[in-house]
Amino acid sequence: MGAFETSSPAVAPKLLPRLSEQYLSLRSNGQRLIETLESACAWGNTPDGGMNRLACNDDDGKVRQWFIDETKKCGCEIKIDAMGNMFAIRPGQNNNLPPIGIGSHLDTQPTGGKYDGILGVTSGIEVLQTLHANNITTYAPLAIINWTNEEGARFPPAMLASGVWGGAFTTEYGHGRTDQNGVTLKQELERIGFLGKTPCSFEANPLSAHFELHIEQGPMLDAAEFPVAVVRGVQSIRWYSIDIVGREAHTGTTPMDRRSDALLGAAKMIVEANRFVTEGDLAARGARATIAVIESGPGSINTIAGKVRLNLDIRAPTDLDVALVEELCRARFHEICEEQGLTMDIDHFWTSPALHFDPTMVQCVRESANKAGCQMELVSGAGHDSVYTSLKVPTAMMFVRCRDGVSHNPAEYSRPEDCAAGAEVLLGAYLRYDNYLRTLNEPAKA
């Protein structure tokens, strides 16, 4: 499953205060949203209709300038922090409150699409433009956010900069991440002019809450024929780097039974990791294991591979199942090394535990989604910046249907009417939480 349909809420939802007529009458503009999305894809798009905008490259620098121009038109002031995270802040009636954030990311995979992350930021801009066009000043300030390097495709790990803001990583760690050419994230932020002065942390630059709209990147909505889903949480994720060492030898003269073939061992690990999550209970419970990166040396057709590096990605709705898949892989991989005469080193370098979003925030999304006729509730199969904002502030997400659940691919596509429905649900959820904050802080007026 791309995401996991869930049973009824874990906690009974709080009853939300009734939304004012003024708020209820607001409508976003789907046509404008699509135009904004297209202009956000003017840099880094590829001939096959996809996107290749790795974090902090020149195209990322250009779309960041575009983000500043667009949000300033709606009366926003721009804050950029030490990780290059961008906050376009529109004042509210009570500016003693930190802003309610609506955020996602503008970076993409090397073979990515136009919706992953970009639809979230542009939907936030659509909310901003709707408020601006209708001269609405919300109770709390609003911050539209572009989080840096969400994909982690150029600077692993993923969700790096929201992770620093949420306290999962230090700024030093974030700055020190390097790409394949050994260039650091800090160097590239400086080069494109987006190494900001605001410290990157909740404490130095707080929010009241964080909403994120994202494409599902899975097939559930497509199958159920809903445009939008409430996201209740995010599955558990762990990443590993595995180094396998065998022995280089001549392919023509080395007996099959006297080889230490690191690539053969790696191949067996790839097959076994796949088997663990495609058979039995783990498959039924939606566990996933993927090896998508392999490097093999010395890379000569008649010399048996002596060194192989793999990256392993394990996910499941629960931390327990991820740990179980890891355990199965470790045990079997060690057996394979025994059988093949190999040595192995497994580096577990990143963890993102299973997550349940804030019940009140989820209820805001739920009411707004239900009003739009969308009943589906899911658990995300992918990590998102909201995983890290949830460490500090009430957070919730909504998913927009994408065709065949295809993502991280140039063929990634969401219909305009689904994007529009998503923006509408986002607007309603945001307004409900803004209204909730008003009643919290000014019970008298409630």
Q: Work out which of 127, 228, 249, 337 binds a second copy, going by CB under 8 A.
A: 249
Residue 378 Cβ vs a second copy, minimum distance, rounded to whole Å: 10
Q: Are strands 228-234 and 142-146 parallel, antiparallel or unpaired?
A: unpaired
Residue 190 Cβ vs a second copy, minimum distance, rounded to whole Å: 24
Q: Work out which of 197, 225, 258, 443 binds a second copy, going by CB under 8 A.
A: 258
Residue 364 Cβ vs a second copy, minimum distance, rounded to whole Å: 24
SS3 per residue for 52-120: CCCCCCHHHHHHHHHHHHHHHCCCCEEEEECCCCEEEEECCCCCCCCCEEEEECCCCCCCECCCCCHHH
> Is residue 197 within the footprint of a second copy (CB under 8 A)?
no
330 vs 315: CA distance, rounded Å:
15
Residue 298 Cβ vs a second copy, minimum distance, rounded to whole Å: 5
Q: Per CB under 8 A, which of residues 81..110 are in contact with a second copy?
A: 109-110
Residue 443 Cβ vs a second copy, minimum distance, rounded to whole Å: 42
Nearest to 222 by CA among 399, 51, 29: 399
Structure tokens at 279: 């058979």
* Contact present, 232 and 378 (Cβ < 8 Å): yes
15 vs 349: CA distance, rounded Å:
41
108 vs 348: CA distance, rounded Å:
24
Provide the residue count of the chain.
Answer: 446
> Is residue 288 within the footprint of a second copy (CB under 8 A)?
yes
Q: Per CB under 8 A, which of residues 227..246 are in contact with a second copy?
A: 235, 237, 239
Tell me how many residues contact a second copy (CB under 8 A): 71
Nearer to a second copy, 327 or 339 (CB): 339
Nearer to a second copy, 374 or 379 (CB): 379
> Is residue 247 within the footprint of a second copy (CB under 8 A)?
yes
Nearest to 70 by CA among 39, 94, 47, 42: 39
Nearer to a second copy, 50 or 428 (CB): 50
By CB under 8 A, which span of 59-67, 203-211, 266-274, 413-421 interacts with a second copy?
A: 266-274
Q: Work out which of 267, 346, 391, 440 binds a second copy, going by CB under 8 A.
A: 267
- For residue 404, give the DSSP letter: G
By CB under 8 A, which span of 32-40, 67-75, 292-300, 438-446 interacts with a second copy?
A: 292-300
Residue 64 Cβ vs a second copy, minimum distance, rounded to whole Å: 22
In whole angstroms, what separates CA 298 from the centre of its chain?
A: 35
Q: Per CB under 8 A, which of residues 40..79 are in contact with a second copy?
A: none
Q: Per CB under 8 A, which of residues 313..342 are in contact with a second copy?
A: 313, 315
Q: Work out which of 255, 281, 284, 445 binds a second copy, going by CB under 8 A.
A: 255
389 vs 210: CA distance, rounded Å:
7
Q: Which residue has the tokens 């709209």?
A: 213
Q: At what angle do helices 359-371 and 416-441 cross, to 10 degrees?
A: 130
Q: Work out which of 65, 95, 300, 375 binds a second copy, going by CB under 8 A.
A: 300
> Is residue 264 within the footprint of a second copy (CB under 8 A)?
yes
Nearer to a second copy, 1 or 440 (CB): 1
Nearest to 381 by CA among 329, 318, 294, 320: 318
Binding characters for a second copy, 381-410, by CB under 8 A (x = yes): xxx---------------------xxxxx-
Q: Per CB under 8 A, which of residues 211..230 are in contact with a second copy?
A: 216-219
Residue 96 Cβ vs a second copy, minimum distance, rounded to whole Å: 39
Q: Per CB under 8 A, which of residues 107..146 are in contact with a second copy?
A: 109-111, 116
Q: 79-96: b or e for each residue (b if 16 or more CB lie within 10 Å)?
A: bbbbbbbbbbbbebeeee
By CB under 8 A, which span of 18-26, 33-41, 73-81, 210-218 interacts with a second copy?
A: 210-218
Half-sphere exposure of 405 (CA within 13 A, CB side): 14
Residue 368 Cβ vs a second copy, minimum distance, rounded to whole Å: 23
> Is residue 261 within the footprint of a second copy (CB under 8 A)?
yes
Q: Work out which of 121, 230, 304, 387 binds a second copy, going by CB under 8 A.
A: 304
Phi, psi of 337 (to 5 degrees): -60, -40
Nearest to 159 by CA among 170, 147, 171: 147
**Residue 293 CB neighbour total at 10 angstroms:** 12
